[in-house]
């Protein structure tokens, strides 16, 4: 374990788990240029030990193929067992290992290796900006933090957006069924691309992850199951919204 | 005089949030929900800035950017992208777009970027 940067504590701390020295070096260059404090661990176990010493990071960037615990398993452990809420980005090669949806939900995003400066900066800055607005623990279906921020606390616009979410996503999910029957997989990817921001605006990570998969690496054979899971997640969100806002036209 | 901004986007929640924020910042905002509508607007109105998605119904983002660059080359274009579109974004930059912003966007970041381009217009 080493710490190649000596940045002030006020800057974000990125914990990188990476076993290849060239990629460590690539990432360290990016971190130096961006002014991030970087801590590098060689394995997920190292990272867990580091957190166990009460060290804190703002983002964990961990390789999918870390051993003995892979990236997703490490993320699961850190979030479930250690109770830490930091966002996790999984680094993958050109062909990521297929994972179950339940497992994918442990990470907030994926970065492809070799590390590309613009992509890394974009994804990490985006997650740093959004992380303080994670959904509260008592409501795991959605959060209104982002909507309240974008609408400057204008509650009427927030509520109108919730109705828009319900009607517009419902229509697109019905269309996904039609496209699935027609085997129009290109259109399915386009619809997933279109509705992904709707889930992101409600800070629903599951919906976002499924849309991401449908729009990117999902095989055609996986699409029926992913669409079904997305519909279940949407139903769960609208159920919660109906409970929380009975006055709205939702569901 | 209010600056005119064309937003080309098909997600209704993103449209609503962009419209709210840009109008609040004092701009005139016109919305096109697909590339065809955007082309129609572009034939009738001179815009100070265009914010556009790249995956659009009917007319692709590439076709739209190509049209803008041919007919209104001085109008700055900001691409509304998602984090999964690195290659598409690079293609767009190669076609001459000026900037990109990731959806869902940060309100302050949007304001600053828009302000930056409009101050040059």
pLDDT digits (tens, 9 = 90+) for A166-188: 999 999 999 999 999 999 999 99
CATH assignment of B4-120, given 3.40.50.2300, 3.40.50.720, 2.40.170.20, 2.30.33.40?
A: 3.40.50.2300
Is it the case that residue A5 has pLDDT exceeding 50?
A: no
Query: In Å, what is the CA distance from A51 to each residue of A47, A56, A85, A97?
Result: 6, 6, 12, 26
Distance of CA B50 to the CA centre of its chain: 4
Q: State chain A's mean pLDDT as an integer.
A: 85
Per the CB < 8 A criterion, the answer to whether B36 and B58 are in contact is yes
Give the integer Cα–Cα distance in Å for A59 and A128.
7
Which pLDDT value is given to residue A196?
94
Residue range A108-137: mean pLDDT, rounded: 77
Show the DSSP H helices in A78-184 as ranges. 101-104, 117-130, 145-150, 155-164, 170-181
Per the CB < 8 A criterion, the answer to whether B92 and B65 are in contact is yes
Is it the case that residue A2 has pLDDT exceeding 50?
A: no
Please tell me whether residue A120 adopts helix, strand or coil conformation: helix
Give the integer Cα–Cα distance in Å for A140 and A127.
18
* ipTM of the modeled complex: 0.89
pLDDT digits (tens, 9 = 90+) for A184-199: 999 999 999 999 999 9
Query: For the ranges A56-65, A111-120, A135-144, A218-227, which has the lowest average pLDDT?
Result: A135-144
Instruction: Please give the helix or strand (H or E) that residue A41 lies within, else none.
Output: strand A37-41
Query: Integer distance in angstroms from the first to the last C-alpha of chain A?
Result: 51
Is it the case that residue A71 has pLDDT exceeding 80?
A: yes
- With cut-offs at 50, 70 and 90, classify the pLDDT of residue A101: low
Burial class (CB in 10 A: 0-12, 13-18, 19+), A180: middle
Instruction: State what percent of residues in chain A have pLDDT above 90.
Output: 41
Residue range A35-44: mean pLDDT, rounded: 90
Is it the case that residue A4 has pLDDT exceeding 50?
A: no
A182 touches chain B (CB under 8 A): no
Nearest to A164 among B12, B82, B107 (CB): B12
* Contact assignment for A150 to B107 by CB distance below 8 Å: yes
Please tell me whether residue A180 adopts helix, strand or coil conformation: helix
Question: Buried b vs exposed e over A153-177: b needs ≥16 C-beta within 10 Å?
Answer: eeeebbbbbbebbbebbbebbeebe
Please choose, from the candidates B56, B57, B47, the residue with its C-alpha nearest in 3D space to the C-alpha of residue B22.
B47
Give the integer Cα–Cα distance in Å for A196 and B55.
13
Give the integer Cα–Cα distance in Å for B106 and B92.
21
| Among A87, A113, A193, the residue to mutate for chain B (most B Cβ within 10 A) | A193
Per the CB < 8 A criterion, the answer to whether B15 and B105 are in contact is no
Give the integer Cα–Cα distance in Å for B36 and B57.
8
Which pLDDT value is given to residue B101?
87
**Domains by residue range for chain A, with CATH:** 13-133 (3.40.50.2300), 145-244 (1.20.120)
Query: For chain B, which residues make up each domain, given as ranges?
Result: 4-120
Instruction: State what percent of residues in chain B have pLDDT above 90.
Output: 64
For residue B11, the chain A residue with the least C-alpha distance is A194
Per the CB < 8 A criterion, the answer to whether A108 and A75 are in contact is no
Of A99-113, B23-37, B59-73, highest mean pLDDT: B23-37
- Verdict on whether the full-model pTM lies above 0.95: no
pLDDT digits (tens, 9 = 90+) for A208-244: 989 989 988 889 999 999 999 999 899 989 988 988 8
Residue B89 C-alpha, separation from nearest chain A C-alpha, in angstroms: 11
For residue B80, the chain A residue with the least C-alpha distance is A197
> pLDDT higher for A240 or A130?
A240
- Which chain B residues are within 8 Å of A188, Cβ to Cβ? none
- With cut-offs at 50, 70 and 90, classify the pLDDT of residue A251: low
Which pLDDT value is given to residue A134?
41
């Amino acid at each position: 374990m080493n710490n190649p940067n000596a940045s002030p504590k006020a800057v974000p701390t990125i914990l990188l788990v990476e076993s290849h020295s060239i990629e460590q070096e690539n990432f360290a260059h990016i971190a130096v240029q961006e002014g991030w404090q970087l801590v590098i661990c060689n394995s997920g176990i190292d990272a867990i030990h580091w957190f166990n010493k009460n060290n804190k990071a703002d983002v964990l960037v961990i390789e999918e193929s870390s051993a003995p615990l892979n990236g997703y398993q490490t993320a699961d452990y850190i979030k479930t067992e250690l109770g830490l809420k930091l966002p996790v980005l999984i680094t993958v090669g050109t062909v990521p290992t297929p994972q179950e949806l339940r497992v994918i939900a442990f990470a907030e995003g994926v970065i492809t290796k070799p590390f590309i400066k613009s992509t890394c900066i974009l994804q990490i800055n985006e997650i740093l900006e959004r992380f303080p607005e994670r959904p509260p623990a008592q409501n795991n279906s959605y959060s209104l933090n982002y909507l309240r921020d974008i609408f400057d606390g204008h509650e009427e616009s927030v509520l109108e957006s919730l109705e828009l979410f319900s009607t517009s996503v419902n229509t697109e999910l019905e269309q996904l069924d039609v496209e699935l029957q027609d085997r129009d997989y290109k259109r399915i990817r386009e619809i997933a691309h279109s509705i992904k921001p709707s889930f992101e605006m409600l800070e629903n990570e599951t919906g976002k992850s499924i849309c991401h998969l449908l729009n990117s690496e999902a095989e055609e054979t996986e699409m029926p199951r992913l669409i079904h899971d997305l519909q279940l997640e949407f139903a769960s969100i609208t159920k919660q919204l109906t409970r929380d806002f009975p006055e709205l036209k939702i569901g | 005089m209010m600056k005119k901004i064309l937003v080309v986007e098909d997600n209704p929640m993103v449209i609503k949030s962009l419209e709210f924020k840009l109008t609040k910042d004092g701009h005139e905002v016109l919305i096109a929900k697909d590339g065809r509508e955007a082309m129609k607007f572009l034939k009738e109105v001179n815009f100070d800035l265009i914010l556009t998605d790249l995956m659009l119904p009917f007319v692709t983002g590439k076709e739209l950017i190509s049209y803008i660059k041919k007919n209104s080359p001085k109008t700055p274009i900001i691409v509304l992208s998602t984090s999964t579109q690195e290659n598409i974004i690079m293609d767009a930059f190669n076609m001459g777009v000026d900037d990109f912003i990731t959806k869902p966007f940060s309100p302050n970041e949007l304001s600053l970027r828009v302000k930056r381009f409009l101050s040059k217009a």
